[in-house]
Chains A and B, each alone.
Chain A
Amino acid sequence: MVRPSVMFDADAVIGLHAFGIWNETTACCNITLTDLVAEDECQFYDSEAGRVYFDLKPDIDSGRVTVVATSVASIQQFQARFKPNYISALHEGETTCISWLSSSSTEVKFCTGDNYAWRVFGALGMSERALPLETLLDLIGLRRKKLSVQFTQAYCQSNLSKGVQDRFQDRVFAV
């Protein structure tokens, strides 16, 4: 099986930790995170026993996870393509992910649990690079239970479609 190359946002990283399959996933996939997601947004998950903190540093140091730097200038350039009110609703972590993906020539897919990130992804015409967690886990044989809505293929598709519609309705890009 070809190892999937995937960029995770914070929701995906937190979700995988909460499901207890983060280590198995890092063993099966080439994982990329942006610096903002790795350094600032992935610190804990909530469990029934309370808040559980985790540390990505060992994965980064060992090379199991690759962290890519996103400069202020690159984000500014990316955001300038959009109408300000459209892009401001996208959280910074996901902004760095999509910005990096939109300028990378690699076949890295995007995995997020963020409704609006899928929407922007769809608006950018990048739906083919969408890889919802449900699909990824099926692909690598790690899905053990029904996933919450935010990680499903159906939820991803529904929001990608909204983004495509936004584009047709001229709601996305700055003139």
Chain B
Amino acid sequence: MSLGERLRIARQSVGLTLEQVAEKSGLGVSSLSEFETAKREPRLSQLSILGRIYLRSVGYFLSDSPVHQDVVLWRSKPPESEARIVSSRFRELCERFHNLEVWCEEESNHRLPSVPGTPEHLGYPHAEALASHFRKELELGARPGCELLRVLEEVCHVKVFHLEFQPTGAAASTISPTFGAAILLNALNSRWRRNFDLAHELFHLLTWNLFRVSSKNTGQDSASEHEEKLATCFARNLLMPREAVLEALSGQNLDGGIPPGAVGALARQFDVSMEAVLWHLQLVLGRSEAETKTDIQALKTASRSYEERTDDRPSKLPRRFEALALRAFLESRMSIGRYAEYVGVSRQQAAKLLEDDSNG
């Protein structure tokens, strides 16, 4: 594929017009058009500027290999223009992560099991069983919320990134032939909300072959309502094992309903939101939907917040990404400029790490 075509595809994938790129880059519309139609060749410094706007490496423009368009599966997809930018940033980060794995010779496929069968045969009992199986297989324990992210990143080699975007309900996942399995979470959400989104997106990865590869949904960037409900069922059961929830509730008098304090305690224990606890208790305790909705409304209008707990901001880059980058840099497996670009520091800040390393 020619450089011109690559430039056009890259521009379109971030949803920008030639005029918008001209404004951002300082390059003329006619020059940009001539670059895309191969009437003129851009200078490398111009490619570098365009790469920053299009969220592509200069290497992407110089390559002659075919361009693969990865499908990013969205939940509550942001408006198209924002979704394109966020998707592109997500892909760029995943590609960088993959490069680091390659340079450190730690390249491996993600280590997630694949669910056999057909989408039509997958129901709630299967989603619940899948959650239980996954929890046991990865030894996540009775309170997986605290461990899930670390295990997915470090053990399963799933690439998990946090970016800020709207709406906050949005999250995304993908399995790419290039960089493997990846999940995008919203950095604007609380940790317990992100935990739930992580488990929800995990379901999509586990069933990717079922819903995206071997079905008519191939290429679609959103899941059906049925698939989303299964993902929610999976997430609840993964994060709040039925036996552990019942044990936590044992000895409590629930005749007059579930006291907000008890819901708050469960939410803290399993590191999920109070609303997620109430929806899960509907199934575990056999309560009605109306009762659940009443309890959720009561929580929202309560004079005091039962959600009091310490939140934390997600790190800008996954720990494994940072560790691989540092290793690649200190072992001279990547350029200082590349390290600075990947980690978001200046070249001098990167050089300071060398200095620190050489001083022991």
The answer to the question of A159 belonging to the interface, with a C-beta cut-off of 8 Å to chain B, is: yes
Residues of B within 8 A of A134 (CB): none
* Contact indicator B354/A69 (Cβ below 8 Å): no
* Contact indicator B355/A75 (Cβ below 8 Å): no
Q: Which of A92, A96, A150 contacts B336 (CB 8 A)?
A: A150
* Contact indicator A45/B348 (Cβ below 8 Å): yes
With the chains together, A76 CA to B349 CA distance in Å?
30
With the chains together, A118 CA to B48 CA distance in Å?
22
Q: Which residues 83-113 of A sit at the B interface, judged by CB distance below 8 A?
A: 85, 88-94, 96, 113
Query: How many residues on B have C-beta within 8 angstroms of the other chain's C-beta atoms?
Result: 35
The answer to the question of A18 belonging to the interface, with a C-beta cut-off of 8 Å to chain B, is: yes
* Contact indicator A41/B102 (Cβ below 8 Å): no
Query: How many residues on A have C-beta within 8 angstroms of the other chain's C-beta atoms?
Result: 42
Residues of A within 8 A of B337 (CB): 10-11, 41, 91-94, 114
Residues of A within 8 A of B358 (CB): 149
Check A35/B44 contact, CB under 8 A, given A46-B348, A85-B103: yes
Interface of B is mostly: helix
Q: Which of A46, A89, A94, A148 contacts B346 (CB 8 A)?
A: A46
Residues of A within 8 A of B102 (CB): 85
The answer to the question of A40 belonging to the interface, with a C-beta cut-off of 8 Å to chain B, is: yes
- Looking at the assembled complex, report how far the CB atom of A174 sits from the nearest CB atom of chain B, in whole angstroms: 13
Q: Which of B47, B329, B334 contacts A72 (CB 8 A)?
A: B47
A124-165 toward B: CB 8 Å interface, digit per residue (1/0)?
000000000000000000000000111000000001001000
The answer to the question of B296 belonging to the interface, with a C-beta cut-off of 8 Å to chain A, is: no
Q: Which of B42, B44, B99, B346 contacts A88 (CB 8 A)?
A: B99
Check A91/B338 contact, CB under 8 A, given A35-B44, A72-B62, A116-B332: yes
With the chains together, A41 CA to B51 CA distance in Å?
14
- Looking at the assembled complex, report how far the CB atom of A156 sits from the nearest CB atom of chain B, in whole angstroms: 11
The answer to the question of B58 belonging to the interface, with a C-beta cut-off of 8 Å to chain A, is: yes
Residues of A within 8 A of B3 (CB): 72
Q: Which residues 313-360 of B sit at the A interface, judged by CB distance below 8 A?
A: 328-329, 332-338, 341, 346-349, 351, 354-355, 358
* Contact indicator B45/A36 (Cβ below 8 Å): yes
* Contact indicator B338/A14 (Cβ below 8 Å): no
B92-129 toward A: CB 8 Å interface, digit per residue (1/0)?
00000001001100000000000000000000000000
Q: Which of A36, A88, A96, A150 contacts B351 (CB 8 A)?
A: A150
With the chains together, A115 CA to B353 CA distance in Å?
13
- Looking at the assembled complex, report how far the CB atom of B352 sits from the nearest CB atom of chain A, in whole angstroms: 8
Q: Which of A10, A89, A93, A149 contacts B354 (CB 8 A)?
A: A149
* Contact indicator B49/A89 (Cβ below 8 Å): no
With the chains together, A46 CA to B346 CA distance in Å?
8
* Contact indicator B99/A14 (Cβ below 8 Å): no
The answer to the question of B309 belonging to the interface, with a C-beta cut-off of 8 Å to chain A, is: no
* Contact indicator A91/B355 (Cβ below 8 Å): no
A10-40 toward B: CB 8 Å interface, digit per residue (1/0)?
1100100010000000000000001110011
- Looking at the assembled complex, report how far the CB atom of B271 sits from the nearest CB atom of chain A, in whole angstroms: 38
Q: Which of B41, B59, B354 contacts A71 (CB 8 A)?
A: B41
The answer to the question of A117 belonging to the interface, with a C-beta cut-off of 8 Å to chain B, is: yes
The answer to the question of B39 belonging to the interface, with a C-beta cut-off of 8 Å to chain A, is: no
With the chains together, A33 CA to B55 CA distance in Å?
26
- Beyond the given pairs A85-B103, A93-B337, 4 more chain A to chain B contacts, judged by CB atoms under 8 angstroms and listed by A's residue number, are A11-B351, A70-B44, A94-B335, A148-B351
A-B pairs with lowest CB-CB distance, top 4: A91-B337, A91-B335, A39-B45, A115-B332
Which A residues have a C-beta under 8 Å from some C-beta of B? 10-11, 14, 18, 34-36, 39-41, 44-46, 69-73, 75-76, 79, 85, 88-94, 96, 113-119, 148-150, 159, 162
12 contacts between A and B (CB under 8 A): A35-B43, A36-B48, A40-B45, A72-B3, A89-B99, A113-B351, A114-B336, A116-B338, A119-B332, A148-B351, A148-B354, A149-B355
